[in-house]
Amino acid sequence: MFALAQSAPLADRLRYSPASVNPDELIEALAELDRLQAWINASDPSIDTDSPLDEQIEALVDKRIEKDCPDHAAYVQFFDDCFESLGAHYPCPEVTSGYDCSVIFDAIRKGEEARAAEDEDLAS
């Protein structure tokens, strides 16, 4: 058995060096987990509390996004379509790539400029 630094995540210390874990620290971590679970349940009782915690948090975030931006799915679909379109020009576009995002945003900006110029021509 090897020792881990006290700064290592509690789960790692418990798994690899259980003697390094103070029982009070474990009790506090479990209490914090219970508080988080209660908060999730109070925030939205429809979330399945038997699913893994990360899935519960993701469901809560998704519901909040839907509440704040009801047409969020349309934006997601739009950007999915944009990245799919980029795939025809770039071997592997990524949403995390600043360059790929800038290509989409530049195209949107140019489209807005073209639309504004078109509207100006129609108005004159």
**What pLDDT is attached to residue 103?**
78
pTM above 0.75, yes or no: no
Tokens of 45: 């009782």
105 vs 18: CA distance, rounded Å: 51
| pLDDT, tens only, 64-80 | 888 888 887 887 788 77
Tokens of 44: 């939205």
Closest C-alpha among 71, 74, 79, 76 to residue 104:
79
Domain ranges of the chain: 10-68, 72-123
N residues, the chain: 124
